[in-house]
Amino acid sequence: MELDPKGISSKNNYSLMKTINQYEPSYGIEEAKEVEAYLKTNGWLTEFRQTRRFEEELAKFTGAKYCSVVINGTVSLFIALKALGIGRGNEVIVPDITMAATPNAALLCGATPVFVDIEPHSHCIDLNQIKKAISKKTKAVIHVSLNGRAGELSMLKKFCKEKGLHLIEDAAQSLGSFYNGRHLGLNGAVGSFSLSIHKLITTGQGGFVITNNKQIHDSIKMLKDFGRKKGGMDNYLKVGWNFKFTDIQASFGIAQLRKIDDRIKFKRWLFDLYKNFLSDVSQIKFLETDLTQTTPWFVDIMVNNRNSLMKYLKEKGIDTRPVYPALHTQHAYNGSSDVKFTNSYRESERVAKKCLWLPSSFTLKEEDIRYICNVIREYYKIKKVL
């Protein structure tokens, strides 16, 4: 829990108004120890042994053959597209509800993102809408497993195979989430993840890609290091950049990764607890979520009068966050000839209007959730939970 800004210790007395943030960072002595131990080795700071170790551990955790860390989850998408040869003149299909990083990674490599509507039950890209949006120029589909939910991924996988399209998974929100028992990120050519501060584990900034394809992996390794096969050997085989990690971040990440099983349990517990405390509030809808597979990074609900509820919660010291806007409505893309739109965005507009992220930090206690849910119940004039 955040320290009381007024310095009032108010553990159980919420009327003293402590703020519950929608999210706050979580790390401690374990990360400090790991970073300190690394610094004592007089290492070169840039990526080397600690980073290789971190990559191996991430590969092991996800069940991937190969893993490469990069500077963030935007670059991990960019480098995935690049490794697949996607660039100018190609269209990349993306969902209309996602973080801007998804279409912007396509734009960064010169391709045209095509915004497509989502499915109502999973908030993932809708295969039927993809079918209407593909053209001769379509080269790839980016599937975003929003909040760890995968939607109709196996059908999408089959479709991409039939049509000869690359499937890329933007699994930035899906570390710790599975689909038919397998970790997300391995259903297409490449899976992309973020290690930014809100994600299940963090290195401050950071991202990584996983793949089972050695050629793609080798290509990514080169693209993140100026197109060289090896540092110190300036022989450029491709046009590449510097997207390398640091061993400081890797040390921090190794300590975070040790907590991942507990974090998965926590997020699932949190989702379930909110759901139980709000189960009889008919105005609030939870998405169907299989908590044996999905690890929601944030607890998301669907409500009609979102802004009014948000305002009420804010007055009671509870911060929430609306989900992403429907991207086709955004100034960045609206009227731009660098992107393409389709005809219907019924579901993305609905989700953009109704979906709300509730406080979801690792620091939350059961009493906090009880408090938050009681305030929500109060708003709807429903008697408190015990």
Residue numbers at the binding site for ligand PLP (CB under 6 A): 72-74, 98-99, 101-102, 144, 170, 172-173, 194, 196, 207
- Minimum CB–partner distance for residue 76 and ligand PLP (Å): 7
The number of beta carbons lying within 10 Å of the beta carbon of residue 180 is 9
Considering the complex, what minimum distance in angstroms separates the CB of residue 358 from ligand PLP? Answer: 17
Q: Phi, psi at residue 17, to the nearest 5°?
A: 65, 70
Nearer to ligand PLP, 84 or 278 (CB): 84
What's at 321, amino acid-wise?
Answer: R
CA atoms within 13 A on the CB side of 86: 31
Q: Which residue has the CB atom at the shortest distance from ligand PLP?
A: 73
The structure tokens 């911060």 sit at 319
Taking the complex as a whole, the smallest distance from the CB of residue 168 to ligand PLP amounts, in Å, to 11
Rounded to a whole number of angstroms, the minimum distance from the CB of residue 320 to ligand PLP is: 17
How far is the C-alpha of 170 from the C-alpha of 27, rounded, in Å? 25
How far are the Cα atoms of 54, 119, 312, 350 from residue 309, in angstroms, in the given order? 42, 25, 5, 17
Alpha-carbon dihedral 19, 291, 168, 259, rounded to 10 degrees: 60
Distance from C-alpha of 115 to C-alpha of 118, rounded to nearest angstrom? 10
The minimum distance between CB 152 and ligand PLP, in angstroms, equals 18
Burial of 382 (0-12, 13-18, 19+ CB in 10 A): middle
CB of 280 to ligand PLP, least distance (A): 31
Q: How crowded is residue 265: how many other Cβ atoms within 10 Å of its Cβ?
A: 12
